[in-house]
């Protein structure tokens, strides 16, 4: 059977933001909601999820990321606010929102999608909705438990976790495991530069 690699392109977060996300999770955990939490060190801002692709297609993904990033200058984002998809009345995904230079973020993501499409990778089914996923409500959760989580989110004080400067994007491999996914960066692509570097180079 031919190996296929679960792949996505993302912006990784500085440690200070990850620590802030952990504090928000800890606050929400006090209510014992039926949520499978994402490890704070694995939370990232996904720009494009490609699904499972053959290894030989990875250089094309890196090239698309390189071209998209080469036309973008570093920009600032801020992690702020909490919410849930599809809404607080029926929460399924718990997230922290983003603000800052959203226009630059959307331009980068749009260019990445265009460059990937030019290489045969289809756009995602859902429109780009930038967020940082804190956790996912367990499928067996009772409706009243989910509503309680939504009420807890609505009652939270304003969440402001700080700003950071986005200077690169990464092509990342995801291996699904029972204890949670393992993410391995494959390519590091600086913004405003012409070369995609294998991670660790």
% of the chain residues with pLDDT over 70:
95
Residue 85 pLDDT exceeds 60: yes
Q: For residue 132, is pLDDT > 80?
A: yes
Interval 107-124 mean pLDDT: 96
**Cα separation values, 30 from 19, 105, 133, Å:** 17, 33, 18
Question: Domain 5-198: which topology?
Answer: Cyclic Phosphodiesterase; Chain: A, (3.90.1140)
Residues 6+ apart with CB under 8 A from 120: 60
Does 99 have pLDDT greater than 50? yes
Q: Residue 178: pLDDT band by 50, 70, 90 thresholds?
A: confident
Between 48-62, 141-155, 182-196, the lowest mean confidence (pLDDT) is in 182-196
CA gap 95, 113 in Å, rounded? 23
Q: How far lies 36's CA from each of 19, 90, 189, in Å?
A: 18, 16, 31
Q: Which of 126, 101, 122, 102 is nearest to 113 (CA)?
A: 122
* Residues with active-site annotation: 44, 131
CA dihedral of 184, 13, 58, 173, whole degrees rounded to 10: 30
pLDDT of amino acid 194 = 47
pLDDT value of position 58 = 96
Report, as an integer, the average pLDDT of 47-55.
96
Residue 34: exposure state from Cβ atoms within 10 A (0-12, 13-18, ≥19): middle
DSSP string covering 30-67: TT--SEEEPPGGG-EEEEEEEEEE-GGGHHHHHHHHHH
The reported pLDDT for the residue numbered 181 is 82
Alpha helices in the chain (DSSP H): 15-29, 58-70, 102-118, 143-155
What is the 8-class DSSP label of residue 22? H
How would you classify the pairing of strands 182-190 and 197-198?
Answer: antiparallel
In the predicted structure, residue 91 carries a pLDDT above the cut 90: yes
> Where does the pLDDT of residue 154 fall: very low under 50, low under 70, confident under 90, or very high at 90 and above?
very high
């Amino acid at each position: 059977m031919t190996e296929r690699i679960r792949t996505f392109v993302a912006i990784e977060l500085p440690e200070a933001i990850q620590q802030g996300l952990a504090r928000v999770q800890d606050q929400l955990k006090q209510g014992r909601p039926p949520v499978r939490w994402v490890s704070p060190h694995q939370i990232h801002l996904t720009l494009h999820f490609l699904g499972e692709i053959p290894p030989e297609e990875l250089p094309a993904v890196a090239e698309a990321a390189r071209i998209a990033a080469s036309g973008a200058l570093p920009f600032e984002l801020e992690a702020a606010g909490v919410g849930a998809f599809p809404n607080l009345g029926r929460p399924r995904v718990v997230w922290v929102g983003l603000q800052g230079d959203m226009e630059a973020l959307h331009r980068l993501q749009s260019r990445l999608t265009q460059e990937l499409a030019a290489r045969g990778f289809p756009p995602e089914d859902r429109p780009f909705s930038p967020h940082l996923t804190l956790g996912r409500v367990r499928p067996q959760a009772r409706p009243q438990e989910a509503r309680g989580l939504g009420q807890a989110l609505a009652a939270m004080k304003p969440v402001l976790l700080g700003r950071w400067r986005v200077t690169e994007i990464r092509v990342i491999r995801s291996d699904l495991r029972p204890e949670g996914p393992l993410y391995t960066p494959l390519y590091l692509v600086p913004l405003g530069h012409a070369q995609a570097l294998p991670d660790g180079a």
